[in-house]
Amino acid sequence: MFFLVIFLLFPISSQDSSSEEFEILLEERRKIPDRNWFCGAGWKSRWFAYGWMKACFAGQYGFNHQCAIHDDCYDQQMGQEKCDDQFCEGNALIAKNDGRGFCKPYVDGSCLAVKQYGAPAYASAATHQNNYVPYLMHRNEFGAIYNEIFTGCKLQNATFSSCGYNYEECLIYKYEKCGENLKTCILDTKNYRTSEPSCDLVVEKVAEQIKF
Ligand SMILES: *[C@@H]1O[C@H](CO)[C@@H](O)[C@H](O)[C@H]1NC(C)=O
């Protein structure tokens, strides 16, 4: 009788806690690695942004992408207010799709941070660009086509790197609509760059070759 009780209780309770732990481990493992993380360069309080992703893990790819756009926006000197507003709106949209509401502190905090503390970074971007070395897509066969983008597009290394990285993750973890999202991601970049005809051309060309 005693053993039966133990036998019945143990698997149930251990399964519960270990599946929870497993989820956490999985999320830790899937967390965007530091080298591909764009949020927070000193003044942007990197630890805050990165740390918070534990709580609103589902949004990490979207938030990271907004940071990439924001970095490139500063580098192109498109106007700090414009860059910051885009950043805040983009993040708010992602948070809206996270029903649990865990991302709101990140969204509010990072928006406030760029507006209050972004000025020095914006000013220094005029002379010292981030010089972000493109992250080349390499974990699937489409990479060979995709990486041509970096020959025609010189203004948005971070944004295009993020589009490519998110696509690879999407394929690996079998998230939904990978091709569709990649297409939207790269076509959207036009809204976030100053004129660059060579980039328009190569982006159109690559977008046509994305398979769904
Ligand atoms: C983008 O990457 C290229 C190398 O492909 C580099 O020459 C250029 O300086 C980078 N631009 C920016 C703004 O980071």
Under a CB-based contact definition with an 8 Å cutoff, are residues 133 and 162 in contact?
no
Same structural domain for residues 178 and 119? no
Q: Which two tokens stand for residue 85?
A: 């507003």
Task: Summarize the confidence of residues 157-178 as an average pLDDT.
Answer: 94
**What's the domain count of the chain?**
2
Same structural domain for residues 168 and 203? yes
Q: Which atom of ligand 1 is nearest to the CA of 130?
A: 14
Q: Is 149 exposed, middle or buried (0-12, 13-18, 19+ CB in 10 A)?
A: buried
Look over the chain and give the mean of its residue pLDDT values, rounded to a whole number: 84
pLDDT > 60? residue 83:
yes
Angstrom distance (rounded) from CA 122 to CA 112 = 15
Q: What is the pLDDT of residue 91?
A: 93
What is the residue range of 175's domain? 132-212
Lowest mean pLDDT among 43-52, 92-101, 146-155, 185-194: 43-52
Same structural domain for residues 118 and 148? no
What pTM was estimated for this model as a whole? 0.84
CA of 133 to the centre of ligand 1 (A): 6
Q: Does any domain span residue 211?
A: yes
The one-letter code for the residue type at 197 is P
pLDDT > 90? residue 82:
yes
pLDDT > 80? residue 19:
no
- What are the distances in angstroms from CA 210 to CA 81, 171, 181, 186? 34, 13, 10, 11
Q: What is the pLDDT of residue 95?
A: 87
With cut-offs at 50, 70 and 90, classify the pLDDT of residue 127: confident
Q: Is the CB of 71 under 6 A from ligand 1?
A: no
CA of 150 to the centre of ligand 1 (A): 9
With cut-offs at 50, 70 and 90, classify the pLDDT of residue 7: very low
Euclidean distance between the first and final Cα of the chain, in Å? 57
Q: What is the pLDDT of residue 85?
A: 98
More confident residue, 95 or 83: 83
What are the residues whose beta carbons fall under 8 Å from the beta carbon of 197, sequence distance 6 or more? none
* Residue minimizing CA distance to atom 4 of ligand 1: 133
pLDDT digits (tens, 9 = 90+) for 50-72: 666 767 777 889 999 999 999 99
Q: How far is CA 190 from the centre of its chain?
A: 18
Q: Which of 97, 129, 161 is the endpoint of a domain? A: 129
Same structural domain for residues 121 and 136? no
Q: Is the CB of 75 under 6 A from ligand 1?
A: yes
pLDDT digits (tens, 9 = 90+) for 22-48: 555 555 567 788 888 888 765 455 666
Residue with tokens 């036009």: 190
Same structural domain for residues 101 and 184? no
Same structural domain for residues 155 and 81? no
Q: Which of 129, 152, 185 is the endpoint of a domain? A: 129
More confident residue, 203 or 98: 203
Q: Does any domain span residue 68?
A: yes
Q: Where are the alpha helices (DSSP H) in 173-196?
A: 178-188
Same structural domain for residues 140 and 125? no
Residue of 197, 26, 50 whose CA lies nearest to 109: 50
Angstrom distance (rounded) from CA 172 to CA 32 = 13
Q: Which atom of ligand 1 is nearest to the CA of 157?
A: 1
CA of 191 to the centre of ligand 1 (A): 19
Q: Which of 91, 106, 129 is the endpoint of a domain? A: 129
What share of the chain has pLDDT > 90, as a percent? 56
CB neighbours of residue 206 within 10 Å: 22
Q: What is the pLDDT of residue 106?
A: 83
